[in-house]
Amino acid sequence: MRAVSAVVSRLICAPISWKRGLGHGASALSCFLVAAVLIARASSPLMGRATVIPSQVRIADWSSLELVYQVGSSGIAERGGIQVQFPKSWHPWLPTPAAPQTTDEHGDHYVTAHTSRPGVTVTIGIANVAIDGRTDRMDWTATLTVSGDSLSAGDEITYTFGDQSGGGRGFQAHYTAMVEVLRVAEDPEGDGTFVEYPNPPRLTLTAWSSPIWVERGTTLYLPLTRKGSVLS
């Protein structure tokens, strides 16, 4: 843990000090404390569990996916929540930007969220930025903020990516068969400090002729081999 702390301290504190011209005093100490908090949270067994349903979709299909986050034993305080970032391939820039939206339930790329606990609601904020702060026109992160009460261990937050209940088509999968990583971060304290989930769910895009079992049915497609790769 000391070795990890030293590495993270250099990665986080050194760039900040260099950019701002800070010395080693209180500024360096504050930065190290922030790094220590991030390390403690990321290595904590109290974080929840994230899954994506379904875990397999066909390439080029218009799909609706659910990211289900089961809250860990630390719970999530009111004004806390999670962040979810789907891969770039789900947000092509052309012919039109495929950005998540929360205003038109009848349109494409509509997203919704809810919790399993009665009386606790979720507000969705959409930002054109990656979870780690990097910016790219195809990076979109949804911040799901809990309100009304806190969430306890075992409660769930469900983020519907491409809600089709209003007639929209959802999101269109990429045209290449691959395995993709969904990034998830948690803010259990409600202080705005998000820590990325260490075991992110993976989504498999399969070729049309590949055999897949759809989790909400029993449809089997004819087998053919495919090549896959992992994108982060």
- How do the pLDDT tens digits run along the chain, 232 residues long? 433 344 344 444 444 433 344 444 455 555 555 555 544 554 455 689 999 999 999 998 999 999 999 999 999 999 999 999 999 999 987 777 799 999 999 999 999 999 999 999 999 999 999 999 999 989 999 999 999 999 999 999 999 999 999 999 999 998 888 999 999 999 999 999 999 999 999 999 998 754 444 333 344 433 333 443 333 3
Q: What is the distance between the alpha carbons of residues 103 and 6, in angstroms, rounded to a whole number?
A: 45
Query: How confident is the model at residue 27, as a pLDDT?
Result: 56
Q: Is 5 left (phi over 0), alpha (psi -120 to 50) or beta?
A: alpha
Query: How confident is the model at residue 93, as a pLDDT?
Result: 76
Q: What is the distance between the alpha carbons of residues 100 and 90, in angstroms, rounded to a whole number?
A: 10
How many other C-beta atoms lie within 10 A of the C-beta of residue 84? 28
Region 49-231: CATH code: 2.60.40
Q: What is the distance between the alpha carbons of residues 208 and 217, in angstroms, rounded to a whole number?
A: 16
Tell me if 87 sits within 8 A of 182, measured CB to CB.
yes
How many other C-beta atoms lie within 10 A of the C-beta of residue 208? 14
Amino acid letter for position 47: M
Chain-centre distance for alpha carbon 134: 14
Residue 170: closest CA among 161, 183, 181: 161
Q: What is the distance between the alpha carbons of residues 179 and 165, in angstroms, rounded to a whole number?
A: 27
Which residues make beta-bridge pairs with 178?
205
Structure tokens at 93: 């820039």
Tell me if 178 sits within 8 A of 200, measured CB to CB.
no
Query: How confident is the model at residue 92, as a pLDDT?
Result: 87
Q: Where in the chain are all domains bearing CATH 2.60.40?
A: 49-231
Establish whether the linkage from the previous residue to 54 is cis, with ω within 30° of 0: yes
Which residues make beta-bridge pairs with 185?
83, 196
